[in-house]
C-alpha cells in the first residue's frame, strides 16, 4: 500500500515555529537581536544598493528594522513591503511603522507562495529571512517571478557554524554534556545556506543569474553590562532563550540544562572584555539578478 501523502502545506513547521513561543521570544528580544545583527544586515544593504523610487520586498522581515532602513533609502517615491509568516513579529513591525510614520506595508504570508503580482519589485532583500524554506529552489523561483525583468536580489545568510562563535562556542562548551549531532545544512534553519555551492545551485536552478557571494565577518557583543558577570548573564539570556542552542537544549532535562548553563557561562565569561562580551560572526552576502 502507498504511504499516506504528506498533506501539510509547505513550511508548516516553520509557520508554527515562528508563531509559537519562539515568535514571542523573538519579540521580547527584538531590540537586542536588531543591535546584534545590524552590521550583517548593513553589509547586505550596501550590496543591494536600494535607490530612490524603487519597489522593494523585505523577505522574512520580522519586526521590520530592515524594512524601515529600506524605506528611508527608496524615499516617498518608492515603496517597501515586508513579508513574514510570524503574526507576532509583524504586529510589532506595524506598531513601529506607525510610530515612525513610515508607509511600509507588512504582509503576513509565506514568501515562497505566489502572494505578489509578477514584476512587482526592483529589489528583493533579506537579513537572515531566506534560510527557512522547505523547498528553497521552488521558493526562490516564486520570488524571482515577483521581480521586474531587470530586478535583483541581495541577502545575508550565516556562513558555517565553524565561523560563527555565537553558535560554536556554547556548543563546544557542552560537548562533554550533550552528544553533538552535525548540523544538517540542507534542512531549514540558520545554516541552511552556509554552503556556497548550495546557494549557487539553488539560485541558479531558480532562474537567477550572476550569483555572487561575498564573505563578511565581524564580531558583535553577545553580552553587554557594567561588569564581566553582567555581560555573561546578558549573553546567557540570549543563548538560552532564542536561536539554535536554545532549540537544542529546550527538550533536554533540567539536570542537563543546569550543567550546560554552568559550562556555557564559564566559557563565555572568558570572552568578556572592557566594552562587552564579544563573539565572532560571519555571513555570506549574496547577490543575483533576474537573469
Ligand atoms: C532569523 S529571523 C530574521 C528576521 C528579520 N529579517 C531580522 O533580521 O530581524 C527569520 C524570519 O524569517 C521569517 N520566515 C521564515 N520562513 C518564512 C517564510 N516562508 N516566509 C516569510 N517569512 C519567513 C520568520 O518568521 C522570521 O521572522
**Model pLDDT for residues 189-210, shown as the tens digit of each residue:** 999 999 999 999 999 999 999 9
**Closest atom of ligand 1 relative to the 18 alpha carbon:** 25
Does 250 reside within a domain?
no
Residues lining ligand 1, judged by CB closer than 6 Å?
11, 14, 18, 33, 37, 41, 60-62, 65-66, 83-86, 89, 110-112, 127-129, 132-133
Mean pLDDT value across residues 64-79: 98
Instruction: Write the pLDDT tens digit of every residue in 219-267.
Output: 999 999 999 999 999 999 889 988 888 889 999 999 999 999 999 999 9
The answer as to whether 149 is a domain residue is yes
pLDDT above 90 for 280: yes
Report how far residue 188's alpha carbon sits from residue 131's, in angstroms, rounded to the nearest whole number: 6
Task: Give the pLDDT confidence score for residue 1 in this predicted structure.
Answer: 54
Which domain covers residue 35, as residue numbers?
Answer: 12-160+184-217+281-289
Q: Does 274 fall in a domain?
A: no
Q: How far apart are CA 233 and CA 49, in angstroms?
A: 37
50 found inside a domain: yes
Of 136, 151, 156, 155, residue with least CA distance to 289:
151
Give me the CATH number covering residue 51.
3.40.50.150
Give the chain's domain count.
Answer: 1
Helical axes 228-241 vs 254-269, angle rounded to 10°: 140
- Domain assignment present for residue 254? The answer is no
- Interhelix angle 136-145/196-205, rounded to 10 degrees, is 50
Distance (Å, whole) CA 96 – CA 61 = 13
Confidence of residue 142 (pLDDT cuts 50, 70, 90): very high
Q: Are 131 and 189 in contact (CB under 8 A)?
A: yes
| Phi-psi sector, 49: left (phi>0), alpha (psi -120 to 50), beta | left
How much distance in Å is there from the Cα of 22 to the middle of ligand 1?
Answer: 12
**191/183 Cα distance (integer angstroms):** 8
Whole-number average pLDDT of the chain: 94
Look at residue 202 and tell me if it is in a domain.
yes
Please check whether residue 272 lies inside any domain of the structure: no
Residue 98: inside a domain: yes
Amino acid at each position: 500500500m502507498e504511504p499516506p501523502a504528506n498533506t501539510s502545506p509547505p513550511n508548516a513547521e516553520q509557520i508554527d515555529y515562528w508563531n509559537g513561543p519562539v515568535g514571542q521570544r523573538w519579540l521580547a528580544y527584538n531590540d537586542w537581536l536588531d543591535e546584534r545583527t545590524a552590521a550583517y544586515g548593513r553589509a547586505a544593504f550596501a550590496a543591494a544598493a536600494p535607490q530612490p523610487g524603487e519597489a522593494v520586498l523585505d523577505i522574512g522581515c520580522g519586526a521590520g528594522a530592515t524594512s524601515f532602513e529600506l524605506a528611508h533609502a527608496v524615499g516617498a517615491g518608492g515603496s517597501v513591503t515586508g513579508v513574514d509568516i510570524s503574526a507576532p513579529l509583524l504586529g510589532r513591525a506595524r506598531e513601529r511603522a506607525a510610530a515612525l510614520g513610515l508607509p511600509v506595508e507588512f504582509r503576513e504570508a509565506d514568501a515562497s507562495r505566489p502572494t505578489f503580482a509578477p514584476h512587482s519589485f526592483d529589489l528583493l532583500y533579506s537579513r537572515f529571512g531566506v534560510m527557512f524554506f522547505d523547498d528553497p529552489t521552488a521558493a526562490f523561483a516564486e520570488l524571482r517571478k515577483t521581480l521586474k525583468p531587470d530586478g535583483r536580489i541581495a541577502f545575508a545568510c550565516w556562513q558555517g557554524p565553524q565561523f560563527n562563535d555565537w553558535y560554536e562556542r556554547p556548543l563546544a562548551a557542552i560537548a562533554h554534556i550533550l552528544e553533538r549531532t552535525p548540523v544538517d545544512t540542507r534542512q531549514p534553519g540558520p545554516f541552511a545556506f552556509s554552503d556556497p555551492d548550495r546557494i549557487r545551485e539553488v539560485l541558479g536552478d531558480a532562474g537567477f543569474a550572476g550569483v555572487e557571494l561575498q564573505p563578511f565577518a565581524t564580531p558583535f557583543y553577545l553580552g553587554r553590562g557594567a561588569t564581566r558577570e553582567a555581560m555573561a548573564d546578558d549573553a546567557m539570556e540570549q543563548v538560552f532563550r532564542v536561536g539554535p542552542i536554545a532549540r537544542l537544549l529546550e527538550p533536554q532535562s533540567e539536570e542537563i540544562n543546569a550543567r550546560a548553563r554552568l559550562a556555557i557561562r564559564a566559557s563565555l565569561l572568558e570572552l568578556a572584555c572592557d566594552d562587552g562580551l564579544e563573539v565572532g560572526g560571519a555571513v555570506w552576502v549574496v547577490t543575483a539578478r533576474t537573469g
